[in-house]
A and B are shown apart, each in its own frame.
Chain A
Amino acid sequence: MSADLKTETAEAGERRFNMIEAINDALDIMLERDSDTIIMGEDVGYFGGVFRATAGLQEKYGKTRVFDTPISECGIIGVAVGMGAYGLRPIPEIQFADYIYPGLDQLISEAARLRYRSAGEYIAPMTVRSPFGGGIFGGQTHSQSPEAIFSHVAGLKTVIPSTPYDAKGLLISAIEDNDPVIFFEPKRIYNGTFDGYYDKPVQPWKKHKDSVVPEGYYKIPLGKARIVTEGEAMTVLAYGTMVHVAEAVCREKGVDAEVIDLRSIVPVDIETIEASVRKTGRCMIVHEATRTTGFGAELSALVQERCFYHLEAPIERVTGFDTPYPHSLEWAYFPGPVRIGEAIDRLLKE
């Protein structure tokens, strides 16, 4: 851990991290434990990444374990496929999820299928880390949520943490996983939770229980959701930034909602989803990505197929609009408290 990433100790033995620090810690632990892990990406070496996620790691592990790459996303992913085939566990960083597209062919046609096409002779174990999502005035090229594209590709796993605690445990699992994993980091909440009102400040992680990050190695299994709040009135399915927004709206409206943080969308925790919707009879899905064929469409279909006879109201999807992210109207685009609140009202009316 580099000196400039501060650790606030709440109680003896307790370390409180923001999400960046938790990610840095997970990477540090995995570099230490396994000499086959390597980190590469634009600006990740000496500088420690534009969001500082890899700060101090090159200094600690050397230039052949943590290094800068050419600005070539197809190169970064393609090279990671070859490294995986050799037996390394590369952790490539794509600086912003919006820039993953030049690497898509290597991800979709190559990494995702290598195990299948070689009948298991070769694998491409890699964890592609990338900040995603909006809410930081990043305009249309620093704000997208492309998770649905990856969910459509057989052979890839897609993981999205929503807390520092989860970020560390999930990242360690992803790095150890033998399949290619896309690890999308919600950059809006790197430094704190967020309730979706643009005029209300972010709550820094310092005060949040999920910022308590245990020392050392621990894992959170991929494909296992987290029940954020238990409730009877409705089920809320969300991931990343939207977990906090949805949870805040439910709290403010006094709804007895069961908020579920999916943590990974492929594989998705169908058992937890099914049990919850069967119990509550109502389901709201929240994501920031555009609506049409977003991952919400898949969730809605799953719930409908498996819980139809338990549903007491149509499923509600709350999403971003079907437009690119507009710079000045970011806060009108964002699926915030009004959009979520009204969906809750509709769900509970029936």
Chain B
Amino acid sequence: MGDQPENGQKVGDNRPSLKLHVPEPKFRPGDTVDYSHLAVTKPGEQPRPDEACAPVETNPLTVDLVRVLGDDDKAHGPWDPRLSPDQLRAILSDMALVRAFDERMYRGQRQGKTSFYMKCTGEEATSVAAAHALASDDMVFPSYRQQGILIARGYPLTEMINQIYSNRADKLKGRQLPIMYSSREHSFFSISGNLATQLPQATGFAMASAIKGDSQIAATWVGEGSTAEGDFHSALTFAAVYNAPVIFNVINNQWAISSFSGFAGAERTTFAARAVGYGIAGLRVDGNDVLAVYAAQRWAAERARTNNGPTLIEYFTYRAEGHSTSDDPSAYRSAQEREEWPLGDPINRLKKHLIALGEWDEARHEALDAECVDRVKKATKEAEKNGILGHGLHHPFRTMFEDVYEELPWHLKEQAEQAVHEREVKFPGGLPK
């Protein structure tokens, strides 16, 4: 071999020493934020290929940023979905409701009514506008930050809160963590706490629909941090191989708990660009621009519906609040990040757009906010009648053993009896008040 050293040296002695690169976010607590490195594109300048185009035609869009709403609060360019004022108001109203809901549930957790909560503040468009762009029966496989889909699909708030409180009316029988909803009726798949597992499942659902010659497509949501999981890559491979009618929505909100997007590979390329290697269509979209989100989701849905295959969409957005109620973002990122975020707030941008169209005003917006707060308050009161976490008003003990299997096997029967018996020993006079 050519690199055999002479005169007793070790192999490699004269080569340069290798260095490990460990990514570091641009700003830490106390740092002044400067977003000038972000290429914020001009709204309306991105081309819109036909839904039936070859995947390679979208390649430039995977490193671009599709935007519609300009600083002038007007819609620009070929991606403008041309929604009616009524449609815009409906989306605005759903987003305002999501925010009011998050606010109240967050407080509920702080008041000890439940164990845990996760807000989606700043990311409302990526679920609400996307849900509006899909058919109501398109099957969705969400992650834990897509409460906006349920709200957009009209799922009753009281049912959501029953689930969050794990009370006796909780349709999931108190088994799931708060916010891990499930609603077959709303074509909303049961949420898992294990990241990225929903991606191959969405692909499988879409493949099944295609095998059966059905018309139902699937869409799934995942955080940018979770794209590092093997499941993401398996899902894309299957979707590409079988041309499955599925949409992969990557919510790039910059942070995965305390780890910035660089730890999922964002320093090298975009998340949308991952589509290129698989040969599927990809789009990178301003996630705080309701019109762009709607248009992209609509484009991908159309493509899936017409057997033109899967699409990967990266929504570029910002997680304005902490990861969950257990998180303190001020410990790892600059407080200025949120204030300076160059893509603004999705609700505010839509509101200003509607006002610019002459279809909305501040007074109506205030009234909408008040109405949302009121609706959430009423739903909360209603749900509280069924109990809050840990106050005894939960499902009967025997239900703990139901649904493990379709039928109760002998050992679970025995264990169910034991559980009921233990409760009688613990609380001889019934449950403590």
Contacts and interface: CB of A to CB of B under 8 A. Distances in A.
B423 A141 contact: no
Most buried by B among A101, A137, A327, A338: A327
Interface stretch (B36-44, B295-303, B392-400): B392-400
A141 B177 contact: yes
B230 A72 contact: yes
A42 B229 CA distance: 12
B425 A338 contact: yes
Contacts of B170: 328
A326 interface: yes
B257 A329 contact: no
A328 B167 contact: yes
Contacts of A75: 228, 230
A34 interface: no
A339 B177 contact: no
Contact of B116 (A43, A137, A338): A137
A67 B390 CA distance: 38
A291 B193 CA distance: 23
Contacts of B400: 321, 323, 326, 329, 332-333
A297 interface: no
B226 interface: yes
B230 A47 contact: no
Interface stretch (B45-53, B259-267, B372-380): B259-267
Contacts of A109: none
Contact of B177 (A70, A139, A333): A139
B397 A68 contact: no
Interface string A47-76: 100100000000000011001111111110
A231 interface: no
Contacts of A140: 175-177, 193
Given A101-B194, A328-B166, A338-B426, A74 B257 contact: no
A314 interface: no
Contacts of A47: 257-259, 331-332
A50 B394 CA distance: 30
A98 interface: yes
Interface stretch (B7-15, B209-217, B414-422): B414-422
A322 interface: yes
Interface in B216-237: 225-226, 228-231
A70 B263 contact: yes
A328 B178 CA distance: 10
B401 interface: yes
A321 B419 contact: yes
B326 interface: yes
B228 A326 contact: no
Nearest to B328: A47
B319 to A, nearest CB: 14
Nearest to B231: A102
A122 interface: no
Interface string A315-333: 0000001111011110011
B194 A98 contact: yes
B180 interface: yes
A29 B247 CA distance: 48
Q: How large is the interface on B (under 10, 10 to 19, 20 to 34, 35 or more residues)?
A: 35 or more
B40 to A, nearest CB: 26
Contacts of B226: 71
Interface residues of A, number: 42
Nearest to B419: A332
B22 interface: yes
Contacts of B229: 71-73, 102
A324 B175 CA distance: 8
A308 interface: no
Nearest to B233: A72
B363 interface: no
Contacts of A292: 411
Contacts of A74: 230
B389 interface: yes
A43 B389 contact: no
Contacts of B174: 326-329
Contact of A321 (B23, B259, B401, B425): B401
A115 interface: no
A328 B329 CA distance: 28
A82 interface: no
B368 interface: no
A43 B332 CA distance: 10
B230 A102 contact: yes
A16 interface: no
A138 interface: yes
B192 interface: yes
Contact of B422 (A63, A291, A338): A338
Contacts of B389: 137, 327-328
B31 interface: no
A247 B127 CA distance: 50
Most buried by A among B20, B259, B331: B259
Nearest to A101: B194
B256 interface: yes
B404 A323 contact: yes
A56 B230 CA distance: 30
A217 to B, nearest CB: 27
Contact of B415 (A101, A142, A322): A322
Interface string A125-149: 0000000000001111110000000
Interface string B353-384: 00000000000000000000000000000000
A46 interface: yes
Given A141-B177, A321-B412, A328-B395, 9 more contacts: A42-B259, A70-B264, A70-B265, A71-B264, A137-B389, A139-B193, A323-B401, A332-B422, A333-B400
Interface of B: 20, 22-24, 28, 115-116, 166-167, 170, 173-178, 180, 192-196, 225-226, 228-231, 256-259, 263-265, 326, 331-332, 389-390, 394-395, 397, 400-401, 404, 411-412, 415, 418-419, 422-423, 425-426
20 contacts: A50-B257, A64-B20, A67-B22, A68-B23, A70-B263, A71-B256, A72-B228, A74-B230, A141-B177, A321-B400, A321-B418, A322-B412, A326-B173, A327-B115, A327-B178, A328-B166, A328-B167, A328-B389, A329-B395, A333-B400
Going nearest first, the 3 A-B pairs with the smallest beta carbon separation are: A141-B193, A328-B174, A139-B177
